[in-house]
Structure 1
Amino acid sequence: MPLRRLSIVAAALLVPALILGYLVATGERGLSSRRASSPFPPRDVPTNRMDPQGARELGWSSDGLDRVLDYLARLSADSFVLMTDGQTVASLGDLAVPYSIHSARKALLSAVVGQHVGDGPNEIPLDATLAELGIDDDPPPLTPLQRQATVLHLLKSMSGINHPAAAEGGLTADKERRLGDGENQPGTIWAYNNWDYNALTTIFERRTGVSVSEGFRAGIAEPVGMQDFTPESASYIVEPARSRHRAAMFRMSARDLARFGQLFLDRGVVDDRSIMPVSWVDRIAADYAETGIEGLRAGHGYLWWIPSRDTGLPEGSFCAWGLGQQTVFVIPAWSTVIIHQSDTTEFLKRWLTLQEEGMDGDAALERIVMDCRMEAGMNSAFCREHRFTTRREFNRLIGLIVDARG
């Protein structure tokens, strides 16, 4: 039975209070704008679409795909691919260019952990407690009760541990509201919690004897035929004043992310060889916590998000998500994988510059969003190529994709 508890505002990495500020500044909730159109002109960005007959045979409307690609060209998307039955139905941008995937990194961490679950040497026992695994923190140390949290609790974001974490910046308000400043019984409260994911990184590396990067390269990137993953594709954020556990970050290309999504669509099988337990893939959409938010992040389990039915996506779908709408959608009912990426580099530079000039984070984000809505801003290079793709815009994109199905 799925654990159905509580709600969340999704967190971003490296950018203190960004998502909270974004929700405040834009006032966006749910999918109410699904039918809205974009005021931005289309960019000159390469797009490709399968021929109409081929698209229809795979369940897609040719006219609907045209509307999807037209809308994408009006966003700041840098790469997009829609793949059904292993065939590219539609794409935008250069699919070979790697971008930071921000919080979507957690689905990659889940994958390598899933490959090493077990009770043997160099394996990860899901029922083992932090105490049994020798996991603590500093500053401050964990309490004896907190150290009773298990690996499974970390994977399900239910450790109940409210401890500072690397790469969480100032995005702690929602976690603190849920967890408070005292102890919680492990397994009783769900909260989106970077501490859980970073401690899971430490556990993986101690138990397996390899880094997350090497585990991903050998266990996933090479078997599925990724073309752009290198040792430099993964890095760490280290904040010893907050926690001893590091955050493992990734830069990935759209075509490599598509192969990653296809692995889950194929339930862990590559060339008739199982490289991930089927049971691990099946857990994602079957054993999750309801977050209390309608839309694309209505549920959360094993570091993946579960969309609600009001999105139009079929039951059994799941997605990885990160700042700037970095997403990997796995939609088994449609035999489809969808990748969306946007380079957030220029946006983050402008956002941080405004803060250096005296604005707080929320005001700086509101300035960027609103400036790009003004007539002068809409045609600027920044707003056309680098602006922040909002949640409302992205929800509209998903609505167009749903409409294009059939």
Structure 2
Amino acid sequence: MSDAIARPVACLPAGEDFLLLPPSQQPHAYANVDRIFATRPILRGPRMRALPRGAEIVARYRVGGRDLGIADYMRRANVAGLIVLSEGQIVLERYGLGLTEATRWSTMSTVKSLTSTLVGVALRQGRIGSLEDSVAGYLPALRGSAYDAVKVRHLLTMSSGVRWSEDYTDRNSDVNRYSKSLGDKVPGGVLALMRSLPPEAPPGTRFSYCTGDTYVLGCLVSAAMGEPLAETMSRSIWAPAGMEFDAYYTLESDGGQEIGGSRAGIALRDFARFGQFILDDGIVDGRRILPQGWVADAGSRHFDLDPATNSYGAVGYGYSWWIDPDGAMVAVGFAGQSIYVNRAAGVVIVTLACWPQPPYAAAYGIDFGAERRAFHRAVLAALGQGGAAAP
């Protein structure tokens, strides 16, 4: 018998298991990232930018010979949140799996595209001189490591050449060692891990997806700006773009460095507002926040990809954006998170989901990636776009 008074206590998944959760725990974990990991708020500004509402679309798609609709997509793809903007208007908004309008859902790796956008902010403000600058020049802690030869551009395009394993099912992979360090809130733990990695290829010669590279990119932006990443995001994008809710970055430890590449928390409509910010070329109320041409460069193919070799089915990779076969820019995250930005069609589609992971996924018998791509095509068709390609 304990001497402690019995009080209510919330049971949360262990941080080190975040990428290995069964479907029964995914929604609870993804909606409560700020209770599992250390965080820092991304503060909204004094004025919220309303998203006008247009006529609701009816999107239908076919998979496996079946005619399916929006409700089917929500159920079959374990979707928690779905929103579509067309020319800045909400034309579809849905919630499931306990998600509410104010819930800050885990971004997973979609936040990589947000963090990479802050490089554009830093360039425009003259805090980063060039994408050809040396990474170690901004981060003395990485001098003498494989990052000596790496440039800012290489971090943006996942081409650092540093050896990294992104195997979510292997507890000993680099990405799960990274995850355990976050769960244990080890000060300096992630940067120490990155410093220990050996080179595997000359920087810039090949694409190799590395969550750790975006962590390093976030550290670099913080160093260049002289402030926490969350403050730069708040001051430069969150407040000017009129976000509705505070968001947050997760931290490597209490009061430590933001994790630039995963696990931030954002509300559904604010995911859409960020997509609209990109669609608007980084201009808010006539004020340019991103450099001229940044969005076009970010959404261009810096590496060509075989769609059969990546989970999204992308044909290319830009500045931490995947390139859809239809030309759209897509921020993609673990377990079904995505921000689809089709500049030619003027469309943003955000999906927040709980796709089951191995070994649980086999029981569902659904190709979740194909389901999402089919739904995206259906949305464009419903809007009369017919799958228009971005420039």
Structure 2-normalised TM-score? 0.67
**How far off its partner does 1:77 sit?**
1.0
Q: 1:291, 1:301 → 2: CA distance?
A: 11
The residue type paired with residue 83 of structure 1 is: L
Q: 1:100, 1:63 → 2: CA distance?
A: 26
Q: 1:193, 1:63 → 2: CA distance?
A: 35
For the Cα contact (< 8 Å) 1:263–1:269, is it kept in 2? Answer: yes
Aligned residue for 1:83? 85
Deviations 1:32-80 (A, max 9, x none): xxxxxxxxxxxxxxxxxx77xx46xxxx6x4649954232332321111
Aligned residue for 1:10? none
Structure 2 SS opposite 1:324: helix
**How far off its partner does 1:132 sit?**
2.7
Flag structure 1 segments of 5+ consecutive residues without an equivalent: 1-12, 19-49, 174-179, 239-243, 352-364, 374-387
**How far off its partner does 1:253 sit?**
0.9
Aligned residue for 1:206? 223
For the Cα contact (< 8 Å) 1:234–1:250, is it kept in 2? Answer: yes
Q: 1:296, 1:279 → 2: CA distance?
A: 26
**How far off its partner does 1:207 sit?**
1.2
**How far off its partner does 1:301 sit?**
1.1
Structure 1 SS opposite 2:293: helix
User: For the structure 1 residues 17 and 135, does the alpha-carbon distance in structure 2 shift closer, same or farther, using more than 3 Å as the test?
Assistant: farther
Aligned residue for 2:137? 132
**How far off its partner does 1:285 sit?**
2.3
Q: Is 2:387 aligned against 1:395? A: no
Q: 1:171, 1:398 → 2: CA distance?
A: 33
For the Cα contact (< 8 Å) 2:83–2:350, is it kept in 1? Answer: yes
**How far off its partner does 1:97 sit?**
2.0
1:171-320 matches, within 5 Å, as 182-230=199-247, 233-237=248-252, 247-248=259-260, 249-294=263-308, 296-308=313-325, 313=326, 315=327, 317-320=328-331
Q: 2:173, 2:129 → 1: CA distance?
A: 29
Structure 1 SS opposite 2:123: coil
Aligned residue for 1:113? 119
Q: Is 2:103 aligned against 1:103? A: no
**How far off its partner does 1:199 sit?**
1.1
**How far off its partner does 1:172 sit?**
5.5
**How far off its partner does 1:209 sit?**
1.1
Deviations 1:162-199 (A, max 9, x none): 2589x9965559xxxxxx96553221122111232111
**How far off its partner does 1:342 sit?**
2.1
The residue type paired with residue 228 of structure 2 is: S
For the Cα contact (< 8 Å) 1:289–1:301, is it kept in 2? Answer: yes
Q: 1:286, 1:324 → 2: CA distance?
A: 25
Aligned residue for 1:369? 361
Equivalent residues, number: 299
User: For the structure 1 residues 171 and 405, does the alpha-carbon distance in structure 2 shift closer, same or farther, using more than 3 Å as the test?
Assistant: farther
Aligned residue for 1:148? 149
User: For the structure 1 residues 216 and 95, does the alpha-carbon distance in structure 2 shift closer, same or farther, using more than 3 Å as the test?
Assistant: same
The residue type paired with residue 234 of structure 1 is: Y
User: For the structure 1 residues 163 and 191, does the alpha-carbon distance in structure 2 shift closer, same or farther, using more than 3 Å as the test?
Assistant: closer
**How far off its partner does 1:370 sit?**
4.3
For the Cα contact (< 8 Å) 2:272–2:350, is it kept in 1? Answer: yes
Structure 1-normalised TM-score? 0.64
Bigger helix fraction: 1
Q: 2:354, 2:226 → 1: CA distance?
A: 33
Q: 1:182, 1:319 → 2: CA distance?
A: 28
The residue type paired with residue 369 of structure 1 is: A
Deviations 1:347-389 (A, max 9, x none): 6xxx7xxxxxxxxxxxxx23x234456xxxxxxxxxxxxxx98
Q: 1:274, 1:237 → 2: CA distance?
A: 32
For the Cα contact (< 8 Å) 1:328–1:338, is it kept in 2? Answer: yes
Structure 2 SS opposite 1:123: coil
1:19-34 matches, within 5 Å, as none
Q: Is 2:335 aligned against 1:324? A: yes
Q: 1:237, 1:16 → 2: CA distance?
A: 19
Q: 1:73, 1:196 → 2: CA distance?
A: 33
Q: 1:399, 1:164 → 2: CA distance?
A: 32
**How far off its partner does 1:343 sit?**
5.2
Flag structure 2 segments of 5+ consecutive residues without an equivalent: 1-16, 23-52, 62-66, 176-196, 385-391
The residue type paired with residue 206 of structure 1 is: A
